[in-house]
Amino acid sequence: MAAPLDIVNDDPDEYPGRLVVVDGVEYVIGELVGEGGERFVHALTSRRTGLQLHLINILKDQVHGAEAAARTARSLGELRDRGVPVVNEARIVRGHGGVFEVQEAMAPGRGRADDEAQEAEQALRAGDLDRCAAACERVIRRRDDHSYVWHLLAQARLGQNRASEALDAAQRAIDIEPNSRIFRWSMLQALAALGVLHAFMDLFEDLRRKWPTDNRLNPLAFDVLLALGRPADAMALPLMQRDTALRARAEPAVRNWRRAQEHLARAGKAFFTGTPDAATADLREAYASYPDDPQVAGNWALARLREGDWAGCIETLMPAVARMPPMMWDQCLATIAFATAEGRDDQRAAGLLVSVVEQLEQHGPLVFADLPLWAEWFAGDRVVGERSGRAARAVAGLIDRLAGPTEAPAELHRLLAAYRAGPPEFRDDHS
């Protein structure tokens, strides 16, 4: 087995054949391909796949080399931002006793793959997506660990508007080789096309941590942040202030969002000091100013719930769910289900609550601490709910009404049992 690289103690002529681990992936250092005043540059081969998609740059100056590498990356990023063609900046990695860089072997789309991928790569460059996909599938049938071919297949499926298949292919590429930024680009494009916005932002933020000077996907992130109701964050992305067209889209949204935040803050103060009527008035103004903010929409929906406007609550909250923090989705869907049950659309309410229970039970049996409350206020990634049995009574009433020809689903019985196992004030027999 190859010995791990030891930057402190290894001589440069010992680098070939050494083992390097980056984000859990093992690579073997290959031949020296270049040497400058600051770096020894070697090929890097994945032990799993045998593909050479990266180079490793071992810095000669281990004391000040990281600072110099960061300056180089910033310079390359700034040149690219000005429209100057440049090589991809390297990712700076700390490990193996020192600092080194991992760099893509070439610019995307030009000779990165081995011979097996050339036909697919050429077809993709020519815009022949069907031929590209067919060539990829032939390679994958022979060897399903060819990360670059999975990436090419993802690009072909994106071009064919088959985003779900593109996402699957991009995920396979990243599972095999997580240290390629272009594989992450494919996945980000697929997530954006599918509207999986929070997962997009999680992956985008990880990309920014690893390659902080690469701004090429910022315009796509800009659109996602606007869709999430975060126009101020969209405008804060690097380069966005320079883009007149993007600024023209975002600046009115930012003004409206700030106005909505002022009303939301006043509404929160009124609600928590016991004047819900004043809170309702400010929430109405906040929603009129900027309905895409999830906290604004969510709390306006709850105001309508308090007023007994079941249809209005559902109409307001349903489109806001995807913009809410993912940990709030079960609570949001349950709130919609409670409003739906109050409106006596029992079959739909039951279906929603079954979905909530299925999600909760993925983590184990239902326990009271995880159950949805009768919500009164959404505050970021938490909910303030009534200390009452109202949620339990909504479930119990639904079960009673569904008794007979259409038995209530077993999930509702388990949900009610979990409420009844909780504190007395949250049970359905408590007023």
Please state which of the ranges 274-278, 298-302, 369-373, 390-394 shows the lowest mean pLDDT. Answer: 274-278
Q: What is the pLDDT of residue 108?
A: 39
Per-residue pLDDT, 406: 66
pLDDT greater than 90 at residue 113 = no
Q: Are residues 206 and 247 in the same domain?
A: no
In this structure, is residue 221 part of a structural domain? no
Task: Give yes or no: residues 62 and 34 share one domain.
Answer: yes
pLDDT at 102 over 80: yes
Whether the pLDDT of residue 242 is over 90: the answer is no
Answer whether residue 431 shows pLDDT above 80: no
Query: In terms of domains, do 294 and 312 share one?
Result: yes
- Domain end: 75, 104, 133, which one? 104
Measured distance CA(146)–CA(126) in Å, rounded: 21
Give pLDDT tens digits for 170-217.
999 999 999 999 999 999 999 999 999 999 999 999 999 999 999 999
- Please tell me the predicted confidence (pLDDT) of residue 240: 80
Indicate whether 306 belongs to any domain. Answer: yes
* pLDDT score, position 276: 85
Helix (H) or strand (E) holding 40: strand 39-46
114 confidence band (pLDDT: 50, 70, 90): low
- Flag the least confident range among 180-184, 243-247, 368-372: 243-247
pLDDT tier, 396 (very low <50, low <70, confident <90, very high otherwise): very high
Residue 111 has pLDDT above 70, yes or no: no
User: Which pLDDT value is given to residue 244?
Assistant: 87
Long-range interactions of 192-199: CB distance < 8 A, separation 24+: 192/220, 192/223, 192/224, 193/158, 193/161, 193/163, 193/166, 194/163, 194/164, 194/167, 195/227, 195/322, 196/167, 197/224, 197/227, 197/228, 197/322, 197/323, 198/228, 198/325, 198/326
pLDDT at position 418 is 95
Q: If you average pLDDT over residues 313-323, what whole number do you get?
A: 96
Kindly state the average pLDDT of the residues 277-295.
96
Helix, strand, or coil (residue 59): strand
- 93 shares its domain with 122: no
Is 3 among the domain residues? Answer: no
In a domain, 110, yes or no: no
Last residue of a domain, one of 298, 323, 348: 323
Q: Is residue 312, in this structure, part of any structural domain at all?
A: yes
Q: Give the confidence band of 318 by pLDDT, cuts at 50, 70, 90.
A: very high
Mean pLDDT, the chain, rounded, equals 92
Share of the chain above pLDDT 90, in %: 82
Which domain CATH number covers 148?
A: 1.25.40.10
Residues 93, 70 within the same domain = yes
**Predicted confidence band at 245 (pLDDT cuts at 50, 70, 90)?**
confident
* Residue 394 located in a structural domain: yes
User: Are both 386 and 430 inside the same structural domain?
Assistant: yes
CA distance 377 to 373: 11
Residue type, 106: M
Q: Give yes or no: residues 119 and 194 share one domain.
A: yes
Query: Do residues 176 and 48 lie in contact, with contact meaning Cβ atoms separated by under 8 Å?
Result: yes
Residue-level pLDDT at 296 = 97
Same domain for 87 and 123:
no
pLDDT for 241 equals 75
In tens, the pLDDT along 143-161 reads 899 999 999 999 999 999 9
Q: What is the CATH number of the domain that holds 62?
A: 3.30.200.20
- Has residue 105 got a pLDDT over 90? no
The domain boundary residue, chosen from 323, 352, 379? 323
Do 206 and 148 lie in one domain? The reply is yes
Indicate if 262 and 319 belong to the same structural domain: yes
Q: Given CA atoms 355, 198, 217, 87 in this order, what sign does their dihedral have?
A: negative
Question: Is residue 322 pLDDT above 50, yes or no?
Answer: yes
Q: Are residues 315 and 376 in the same domain?
A: no
Model confidence band, residue 428 (pLDDT cutoffs 50, 70, 90): confident
d(CA 261, CA 267): 10
Residue 110, pLDDT > 70, answer: no
Whether residue 223 lies inside any domain: the answer is: no
pLDDT of residue 115: 65
In one letter, which amino acid is 6? D
Average pLDDT over residues 268-288: 94
d(CA 425, CA 431): 8
**pLDDT score recorded for residue 64:** 86
Start-end of H helices in 127-162: 129-142, 147-159
Q: Looking at the predicted structure, is the pLDDT value of residue 283 above 70?
A: yes
- Name the residue range of residue 192's domain: 115-216
Which tens digits make up the pLDDT trace of 22-56?
Answer: 999 999 999 999 988 889 999 999 999 999 999 99
Number of domains into which the chain is organized: 4
Residue 411 lies in a domain: yes
Residues 32 and 98 in one domain: yes
